[in-house]
Amino acid sequence: MPRIKQVVAETVRDWCARECPVTVYSESKKLTFRIAVSVLLGSLPSKEELTNLFTVFEQLTQNLFSLPVDVPGSGYRKGVQARDKLHEYFEKPIEDMLQSSPEYSTALGILIKSSQEQGMKIGMQELKGFQIPKGWSVMYSIRDTHDTAPLFQHPETFNPDRFAEDQMKGKDARFQYLPFGGGVRRCLGKELAKLTLKILAIELATISHWELGTKTFPKMLMVPVVHPANELKVQFSAQLCNKNGIAEVSLE
Ligand code: HEM
């Protein structure tokens, strides 16, 4: 948690120091990437290296939903090349960790150590995972599932509380509420994502003021994933004293 807090606080301070509105959508992707690298490996590469890595990561995510046409210049080829570059970069520190006796202080260290303690030998193949056989294509839409699930009525009404824990109690939401997927392939970063969002909310509320940088809210686009059209521009400024006492919010 201190590692996440440090990266989030540094980022929010940087947003506050900028004179122009921040493009929050792409900046949040950068922040998530920095946190993932820091939590996984325990340290951050140089600023320049991190920027290069993020460019490759963006190439991967931009081509995640592309037709499987493996020809030069195709989205699929670009995505595979980006994936291979990321594998190449992260393989060395991961190999080093597998050879040594890792600490419990990084996500990868915890994974390797606890598998060793349970008598399982974890290697590169296990960490890379398995692939769906060639020619297969599997896809489901989480947004459509939430929109059509009988558990959630009036999907067009703004009511985030419909997903609140107390409203879900006693209802079998297993196949109706799946923001992080489900089963053995459910999101590996679920707890990290939730913790990061809580820390970000606290940092935003305690050390910054913000207002929308445009006259109206941006239109939301749904394909390939839900995202704001033309970014989400927000003007941040520093808040020197914490008037609302949100810092005492518990992260449990
Ligand atoms: C709000 C943020 C996030 C959401 C909504 C989300 C959602 C998802 C969903 C729906 C899946 C597919 C699960 C399935 O196939 O059943 C997934 C997979 C995955 N997510 Fe996330 N995720 C988030 C953040 C993260 C973060 C921060 C990380 C890592 C640092 C991460 C790592 C992964 C991985 C590695 C998988 C693949 C798991 C596997 O195939 O075994 N996610 N995520």
pLDDT tens digits, 172-192 = 788 888 899 888 888 988 999
Average pLDDT over residues 88-115: 77
Determine the pLDDT at residue 223: 79
Q: Using CA atoms, how far apart are residues 114 and 241, in angstroms rounded to an integer? A: 42
Rounded distance from Cα 185 to ligand 1 centre (Å): 9
Task: Tell me if residue 227 falls in helix, strand or coil.
Answer: strand
Domain ranges of the chain: 2-248
Nearest residue (CA) to ligand 1, atom 36: 187
Per-residue confidence band for 248, with pLDDT thresholds at 50, 70 and 90:
very low
16 is in an annotated binding site: no
Task: Tell me if residue 189 falls in helix, strand or coil.
Answer: coil
Determine the pLDDT at residue 249: 46
Determine the pLDDT at residue 57: 92
CB under 6 Å to ligand 1: residues? 32, 36, 142, 179-183, 185-189, 192-193
Write down the mean pLDDT value for the chain: 84
Phi, psi (degrees; rounded to nearest 5) at 37: -65, -45
Domain at 2-248, CATH homologous superfamily: Cytochrome P450 (1.10.630.10)
* Residue from 38, 132, 180, 225 to probe ligand 1 pocket by mutation (most atoms less than 8 Å from CB): 180
Q: Using CA atoms, how far apart are residues 89 and 143, in angstroms rounded to an integer? A: 33
Please report how the helices 47-62 and 24-41 are oriented relative to each other, as an axis angle in degrees rounded to 10: 110
pLDDT digits (tens, 9 = 90+) for 148-170: 888 888 988 999 898 888 888 88
Using a 10 angstrom Cβ sphere, with 0-12 exposed, 13-18 middle and 19 or more buried, the burial of residue 139 is: exposed
Rounded distance from Cα 186 to ligand 1 centre (Å): 7
Residue, of 50 and 140, whose pLDDT is higher:
50
Beta bridge mates, 234: 22, 212
Rounded distance from Cα 17 to ligand 1 centre (Å): 31
Which of 131, 136, 156 has the alpha carbon at shortest distance from 146? 156
Per-residue confidence band for 108, with pLDDT thresholds at 50, 70 and 90:
confident
Residue, of 126 and 141, whose pLDDT is higher:
141
Position 115 pLDDT exceeds 80: no
Determine the pLDDT at residue 97: 77
Position 137 pLDDT exceeds 70: no
Average pLDDT over residues 53-74: 90
Name the E strands within the chain. Answer: 22-23, 208-212, 220-221, 227-228, 233-238
